[in-house]
């Protein structure tokens, strides 16, 4: 998967943590493979705070300690989150619980001077109210130690963009944010200097029934071949796994955005790259993902299982120079 991603111009990955346990797992993977991770508790998982043996304060302390231990070096934490509110999925966690623990996690961003990786679904007024009350109403909370943040997987209305822009936040788009015509209009309104892109794998892929598909149809074949290579329902060495929305698919998101903004793919890639490095304080150029190591491990497993052939060369050049250059 990482080899395919690299061929498509993906130079590194931020793995999002959705709970304490997931964040610790994300950090382990980030360290092993030279990636980055976020640490936080997703709104739909916010009952984990109450269920934690030593209580919610201890859960927050555990998140805090996890961040403190991984602030520098390989596989470091680059944001607090996912955190936020999700009123589309109250069956996982009631609104009051979500609000309480969203507010609590904002303290971590201020304490550690990290950006927020924010999740917001059908909750705009409560979401911005809590951010404002906790000091993130202006300049992304920088006066109080914050570093702004990104409202990831943005699916909100055009009107919400203005308010969040004024508060100093960035937006991130994936397939979910380009499902309908209204989504596309909102996406076109996000200024390129505040835009990030993501796959949000394995969810939120671009699909043929979405409004975005009209733009995706214009994707030139050489790019389509690397962003959406042949897939299989089960794992087959060398093929994408169907429905997994692998990182190489981010090129498709960039393509649709380029059409919505009337700019080139390279311009989108350059702007998003710059925003991402600035927001998450990533060095440029980035350390590369440890693909040979990952590939070697996979090959070793495959070889052990099947005494099969060795892996194809890892030295495939990116078919997408603008992204591949970084």
| 136 vs 320, beta carbon nearer Zn ion | 136
Taking CB under 5 A as the binding criterion, the range among 79-87, 156-164, 284-292, 294-302 that sits at the site for Zn ion is: 79-87
Q: Is 119 annotated as a binding residue?
A: yes
Output the CA angle 116-144-160, nearest 5 degrees. Answer: 50
| 75 vs 177, beta carbon nearer Zn ion | 177
| 48 vs 82, beta carbon nearer Zn ion | 82
CB of 40 to Zn ion, least distance (A): 10
Q: Which residue is nearest to Zn ion (CB)?
A: 119
| 34 vs 43, beta carbon nearer Zn ion | 43
Binding mask 91-120 for Zn ion (x = CB under 5 A): ----------------------------x-
Q: Is 215 annotated as a binding residue?
A: no
CB-CB contact of 46 with 101 (8 Å): yes
Q: Is 25 annotated as a binding residue?
A: no
Count of residues in contact with Zn ion, rule CB under 5 A: 3
CB of 153 to Zn ion, least distance (A): 5
Taking CB under 5 A as the binding criterion, the range among 64-72, 148-156, 253-261, 304-312 that sits at the site for Zn ion is: 148-156
Binding mask 211-250 for Zn ion (x = CB under 5 A): ----------------------------------------
Nearest to 34 by CA among 246, 233, 291: 291
Residue 3 interacts with Zn ion (CB under 5 A)? no
CB of 119 to Zn ion, least distance (A): 4
Q: Is 267 annotated as a binding residue?
A: no
CB-CB contact of 109 with 141 (8 Å): yes
Local structure of residue 179 (DSSP, 8 states):
S
| 201 vs 216, beta carbon nearer Zn ion | 201
Taking CB under 5 A as the binding criterion, the range among 3-11, 91-99, 149-157, 311-319 that sits at the site for Zn ion is: 149-157
Taking CB under 5 A as the binding criterion, the range among 26-34, 57-65, 128-136, 151-159 that sits at the site for Zn ion is: 151-159
Under the rule (CB under 5 A), what is the footprint of Zn ion?
82, 119, 153
| Residue list, annotated binding site | 82, 119, 152, 200
| Residue list, annotated binding site for a divalent metal cation | 82, 119, 152, 200
């Amino acid at each position: 998967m990482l080899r395919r991603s690299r061929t498509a111009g993906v130079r590194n990955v931020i793995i999002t943590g959705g709970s304490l346990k997931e964040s610790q797992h994300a950090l382990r993977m980030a360290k092993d493979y030279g990636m980055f991770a976020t640490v936080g508790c997703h709104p739909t998982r916010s009952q984990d705070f109450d269920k934690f043996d030593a209580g919610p304060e201890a859960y927050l302390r555990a998140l805090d300690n996890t961040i403190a231990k991984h602030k520098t070096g390989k596989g470091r934490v680059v944001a607090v989150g996912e955190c936020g509110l999700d009123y589309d999925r109250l069956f996982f966690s009631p609104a009051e619980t979500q609000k309480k623990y969203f507010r609590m996690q904002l303290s971590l961003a201020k304490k550690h001077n990290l950006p927020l990786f924010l999740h917001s679904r059908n909750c705009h007024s409560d979401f911005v109210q809590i951010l404002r009350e906790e000091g993130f109403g202006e300049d992304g909370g920088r006066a109080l130690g914050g570093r702004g943040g990104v409202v990831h997987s943005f699916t909100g209305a055009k009107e919400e963009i203005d308010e969040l822009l004024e508060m100093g936040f960035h937006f991130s788009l994936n397939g979910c944010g380009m499902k309908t015509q209204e989504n596309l209009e909102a996406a076109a309104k996000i200024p390129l200097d505040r835009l990030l892109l993501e796959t949000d794998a394995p969810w939120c892929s671009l699909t043929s029934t979405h409004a975005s598909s009209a733009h995706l149809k214009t994707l030139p074949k050489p790019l389509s071949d690397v962003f959406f290579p042949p897939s299989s329902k089960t794992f087959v060495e060398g093929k994408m796994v169907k429905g997994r929305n692998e990182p190489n698919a981010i090129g498709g998101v960039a393509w649709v955005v380029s059409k919505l903004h009337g700019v080139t793919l390279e311009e989108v890639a350059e702007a998003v790259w710059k925003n991402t490095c600035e927001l998450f304080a990533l060095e440029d150029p980035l350390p590369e993902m440890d693909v040979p190591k990952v590939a070697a491990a996979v090959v070793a497993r495959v070889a052990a299982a099947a005494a099969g052939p060795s892996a194809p060369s890892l030295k495939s050049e990116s078919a997408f120079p603008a992204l591949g250059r970084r």
